[in-house]
Structure 1
Amino acid sequence: MATHSWHNFRQKAARQPQRILLAEGEDPRVIKAARVLQAEKIALPWLVGSRKKTELLWKQEGGSVDDLVCVDPSGLSASERKSWAEEWAALPRNKRHSADEAMIRVQDPLILGCLHLKKGKVDGFIGGATRTTADTLRAVLNVIGLAPAATTLFGFFLLENHSAPAPGSLILLADCAVNPDPSAKQLSNIAVGAAAAYEFFLAEPPRVAFLSFSTLGSASHPMVDKVREALSLARSQAGRITFDGEWQADTALDPFSAAVKGAGSSPLAGKANVLIVPDLNSGNIAYKIAQRLGRLRAVGPVLWGTAQPANDLSRGCSSEDIIDLAALTALQAQSLRRQPAFAQKEVRS
């Protein structure tokens, strides 16, 4: 198994820098990240926020205002505000709203940022450094929407793996952002999409484990039945991908535990690189414990299934997390430029 570093993603992004809009441009972490993105030519950052506040923070990080691209919602001219409001109101899901409501909505940095992506002013969008995932998802779904072939939108994190047998590798954990209690069908769609995402970012075969509090029937419960059904659906949906489960997390990650628990004969035993959790409780708690107790980097959530590259951040993110999510977003944007059907093909179930 190959070793991957976050630097690999930054290097790939820098080969063809993309315009990445950061919706919370007044946050010091965002400013610091934007300066690195610009200085290392990883991406061309656009910041949304008060120009006065953003310029002050930019200068404090050693930047020149001549290099700053800032979209100031309060600084829009009357004609600019009206134009963006008309763009928002013209979207099918917004036609019931009044012109006055549209003028108010485009003052929201998340909405305005997504509109910039929708209109092609930028190549990727990132929000969530100071706003909730619910806020970010509402803006993204309202303006950007889903790729035509997307079946189930989900969010994943890439987690560092420091343990044997694959220290230095990355593991994908899904769903950590969108679906509170997915059905078996949704869970199978998440697994297939997560496998596609792993292949896209890491160029390695995905080994997908469906996680549960049960390993191969060690417990009986409707929640376990859902995971088993999801596994069966995924296997019939995408036969070329290797899936297994239902497994406890140690079975998926530790060969000894897998052998003890009767799963040692599986080619995935202790070697999974894509982990599918049964619900949002599990995913959200798991990545935060890994971050705070395990001191592992967790970058995301990457929103998989949107029509254009639009991703979220945890409000507890660091500037390094923002840099690396921007690099991942840039890679999505590069692919979409090369192959416009990318967003549709990669999430096809």
Structure 2
Amino acid sequence: MSANMQLFRPIMAALRSGANRAPSGARGFASSAGSDSILVSDITPTGNRTSVMVGLMNHFQSGASKVGYFEPVAGKNGEILSRVFNLSGETAGASAAEASKLLADGKKDDLMDQIYTKFQASKSGKDLTVVGGTGTDLDATVAQALSTPVLLTMTADRSMSAEDIYTTALSKRQAFADKKVDVVGLMLTGVPKCKLAALNGDLKEKLAKSGLPLVGALPEEDLLSSLSLEEVRKAVIAQTKAAFDQHVDVNTVVAGLQKPKSTDYVSPKAFQYGIFQSCLANPQHIVLPESSDKRILAAAVEVTQRRLAKVTVLGNPETVAAEAKKLGLDLTGVNVVDPNSSARMDHYVSMLVEARKSKGMTPEEALKTLQGDINYFGTMMVAAGDADGMVSGAMHTTAATIRPALTMLRTPDKNLVSSIFFMCLEDRVLVYGDCAVVVNPNPEDLARVAATSADTAAAFGFDPRVAMLSYSTLGSGAGPEVQKVTDATAIVKSKRPDLKVEGPLQYDASVDMSIAKTKIKGGSAVAGKANVFVFPDLNTGNNCYKAVQQSTGAIAMGPVMQGLSKPVNDLSRGCTVPDIVNTICVTSIQAMFQNKKK
């Protein structure tokens, strides 16, 4: 395994599986392929889940496991469970007031970021975390973000028939299925004794046929709703244990946790969290040439305040300070360098003259270039080791951003420079390449793009499964474009037998297992489950990534440049401040990889 993969893979592997490690004394509820958390979601917000959550925590704690509790939005159960189980530390992602305000302001994603970050901190050192849902539609989004399976609960009062329970439960399960969240079962609470036998008979069988196990039905007198908080402290464990032992099949819940997740894709929240945590642990020095763009200044301030990187912006210090003041930005900690008065200019001139001596460049020409092109000056900082990476392009074309890097930062083997995008979809992160640099690759170039994209994906924690895209799937069509992809696939397989690569494949056969099984006989390690997509040319790739981005609301992180000795990344001229922050962090990760190799 390469040094860069070793650097980042443990973080992403832990996030991908939820850090699924149980000690030898644990009851086996988590495995490397399963889950180390479970979200309990009531079908109605007014339902009583306290007995269920107490019962689960007590059951797993009795097996010498360290069990924690977390609420995405703080509620009454957090206080009860904290007292009963002597929980310490923060157990909520947001207060009810915070959550309401963020949702009302249209900042749902900000709320999810906050919940995810606090969840990761809360579950640190735990074998299992029981998550108390809100009982609202937010639960499906939370479960998806946290990559946790769900146990549904439902209060079955006297007015509800078995058919009512059945249809309501399946409807709720579908809301989670739409988010690609696994539901391990349904638990009923408050069941009248006269209905227990019927619900545990016909209804249980009917639910099982629909793939939703009925894991238990707690009688109404076994609930904790009639107990005061002080009484709970004394009686809850014994009461709940007795109810669980008699009425709940906890083994079904355990099996649901041990079951391999329906997908091994990395979730967007896990991916971004892993990147940010790596940046916090090892901040890199990133240069931003375009200080005259207010988005760049805002991103520089945010990155500095969050301690994600050390930032240098290029420009006249007085001009930059005046612009920051006008924007209400605090530049404390942000380094400002004026290329025209830099003490390093002579050194950069010498480096550029040496690099361009075959073209006859003179010191005068080099000085003029460095004073007139801020991207060249920023690139020279990276080449000289005065910065670890550069991010530009908010005000410049892709060519203007990367041209200096092609001169100063080529690898010794003159590897093809290409790019990928990390496409953060609702439930997964995919890699698209090349969508920004290589216009019309020949088979050899396309093979290089595929291999380099797979290596980049692996360095960021993916197990790359590479689909070589075409309008044909494994010979279903013919033509020069299909042949190019066929030849490129053969080259990759020959030169990199370690990679999982298949082609030519159509996009649908690459991502949908049912379609893949229809179109491909004999099985494939890639078809239906690809996570790295190599487009046949720039026209196809660029349009496809923009179509996905605009149609789905996906976050496109990139383009991330590949094939350079040190990282330089290009921004879209329509980029937002979060886009710039993400690109700075991705550039930092690449810089860590390069430094690790030295």
TM-score (norm 2): 0.53
State the SS of the aligned residue for 2:420.
Answer: strand
- The amino acid that maps onto 2:376 is I
Question: Is this contact kept in 2: 1:195–1:274, CA < 8 A?
Answer: yes
Alignment of 1:336-347 (within 5 A): 336-340=594-598
Looking at structure 2, the residues matched to 271 and 101 of structure 1 have their Cα atoms a distance apart, in angstroms, of 52
Corresponding residue for 1:158?
422
Corresponding residue for 2:350?
86
Question: Is this contact kept in 2: 1:158–1:173, CA < 8 A?
Answer: yes
Looking at structure 2, the residues matched to 99 and 321 of structure 1 have their Cα atoms a distance apart, in angstroms, of 37
State the SS of the aligned residue for 1:106.
Answer: helix
Q: Which residue of 394, 402, 406 maps to 1:129?
A: 394
Deviation at 1:95, TM superposition (A): 5.2
Corresponding residue for 2:301?
35
> Aligned Cα RMSD in Å?
2.0
Corresponding residue for 2:448?
189
Q: Which moved more, 1:280-289 or 1:224-233?
A: 280-289
In structure 1, stretches of 5+ residues that fail to align are 341-349
Alignment of 1:192-203 (within 5 A): 192-201=451-460, 203=461
Looking at structure 2, the residues matched to 129 and 316 of structure 1 have their Cα atoms a distance apart, in angstroms, of 7
C-alpha distance 255-33 of structure 1, shift in aligned 2 (>3 A) = same
Deviation at 1:51, TM superposition (A): 2.7
C-alpha distance 235-333 of structure 1, shift in aligned 2 (>3 A) = same
- The amino acid that maps onto 2:291 is G
Deviation at 1:110, TM superposition (A): 0.3
Identity value in percent: 31
Alignment of 1:1-349 (within 5 A): 1=264, 2-3=266-267, 4-60=270-326, 62-73=328-339, 75-76=340-341, 81-92=345-356, 96-107=360-371, 108-144=373-409, 146-149=410-413, 151-162=415-426, 167=427, 169-201=428-460, 203-262=461-520, 265-340=523-598
- The amino acid that maps onto 2:559 is P
State the SS of the aligned residue for 1:179.
Answer: coil
Looking at structure 2, the residues matched to 263 and 210 of structure 1 have their Cα atoms a distance apart, in angstroms, of 18
Q: Which moved more, 1:311-320 or 1:52-61?
A: 52-61
- The amino acid that maps onto 1:153 is V
Question: Is this contact kept in 1: 2:489–2:504, CA < 8 A?
Answer: yes
State the SS of the aligned residue for 1:231.
Answer: helix
Corresponding residue for 2:117?
none
- The amino acid that maps onto 1:212 is S
C-alpha distance 264-273 of structure 1, shift in aligned 2 (>3 A) = farther
| Per-residue Cα deviation, 1:104-158 (whole angstroms, up to 9, x for no partner) | 10021100000111111111111211111111121111222x2224532111110
- The amino acid that maps onto 2:393 is G
Question: Is this contact kept in 1: 2:439–2:537, CA < 8 A?
Answer: yes
- The amino acid that maps onto 1:138 is R
Question: Is this contact kept in 2: 1:13–1:327, CA < 8 A?
Answer: yes
Q: Which moved more, 1:258-267 or 1:320-329?
A: 258-267
Question: Is this contact kept in 1: 2:379–2:404, CA < 8 A?
Answer: yes
Looking at structure 2, the residues matched to 132 and 322 of structure 1 have their Cα atoms a distance apart, in angstroms, of 15
Question: Is this contact kept in 1: 2:295–2:576, CA < 8 A?
Answer: yes
Looking at structure 1, the residues matched to 331 and 467 of structure 2 have their Cα atoms a distance apart, in angstroms, of 48
C-alpha distance 204-226 of structure 1, shift in aligned 2 (>3 A) = same
Q: Which moved more, 1:234-243 or 1:265-274?
A: 265-274
Question: Is this contact kept in 1: 2:289–2:392, CA < 8 A?
Answer: yes
TM-score (norm 1): 0.89
C-alpha distance 264-327 of structure 1, shift in aligned 2 (>3 A) = farther
Deviation at 1:184, TM superposition (A): 0.5
Corresponding residue for 1:343?
none
State the SS of the aligned residue for 1:129.
Answer: coil
Corresponding residue for 2:69?
none
Looking at structure 1, the residues matched to 387 and 567 of structure 2 have their Cα atoms a distance apart, in angstroms, of 10
Looking at structure 2, the residues matched to 263 and 85 of structure 1 have their Cα atoms a distance apart, in angstroms, of 60
Deviation at 1:63, TM superposition (A): 4.1
Deviation at 1:60, TM superposition (A): 4.5
Question: Is this contact kept in 1: 2:466–2:500, CA < 8 A?
Answer: yes
C-alpha distance 211-93 of structure 1, shift in aligned 2 (>3 A) = farther
Looking at structure 2, the residues matched to 57 and 260 of structure 1 have their Cα atoms a distance apart, in angstroms, of 59
Corresponding residue for 1:346?
none
Question: Is this contact kept in 2: 1:85–1:105, CA < 8 A?
Answer: no
C-alpha distance 308-93 of structure 1, shift in aligned 2 (>3 A) = farther
Deviation at 1:94, TM superposition (A): 6.4
C-alpha distance 283-264 of structure 1, shift in aligned 2 (>3 A) = farther
State the SS of the aligned residue for 2:557.
Answer: strand
Bigger Rg, structure 1 or 2: 2
| Per-residue Cα deviation, 1:241-260 (whole angstroms, up to 9, x for no partner) | 11111111111112233233
Question: Is this contact kept in 2: 1:251–1:263, CA < 8 A?
Answer: no
Deviation at 1:33, TM superposition (A): 1.0
Looking at structure 2, the residues matched to 226 and 181 of structure 1 have their Cα atoms a distance apart, in angstroms, of 11
| Per-residue Cα deviation, 1:183-242 (whole angstroms, up to 9, x for no partner) | 1011111111111100101x2310000001111222211010000000111111111111
C-alpha distance 318-93 of structure 1, shift in aligned 2 (>3 A) = farther
Deviation at 1:87, TM superposition (A): 3.0
Looking at structure 2, the residues matched to 66 and 215 of structure 1 have their Cα atoms a distance apart, in angstroms, of 55
| Per-residue Cα deviation, 1:287-338 (whole angstroms, up to 9, x for no partner) | 1112222211001111111011211112121111111111111112122222
Question: Is this contact kept in 2: 1:255–1:264, CA < 8 A?
Answer: no
- The amino acid that maps onto 2:572 is S
Question: Is this contact kept in 2: 1:19–1:122, CA < 8 A?
Answer: yes
State the SS of the aligned residue for 2:466.
Answer: strand
Looking at structure 1, the residues matched to 357 and 551 of structure 2 have their Cα atoms a distance apart, in angstroms, of 42
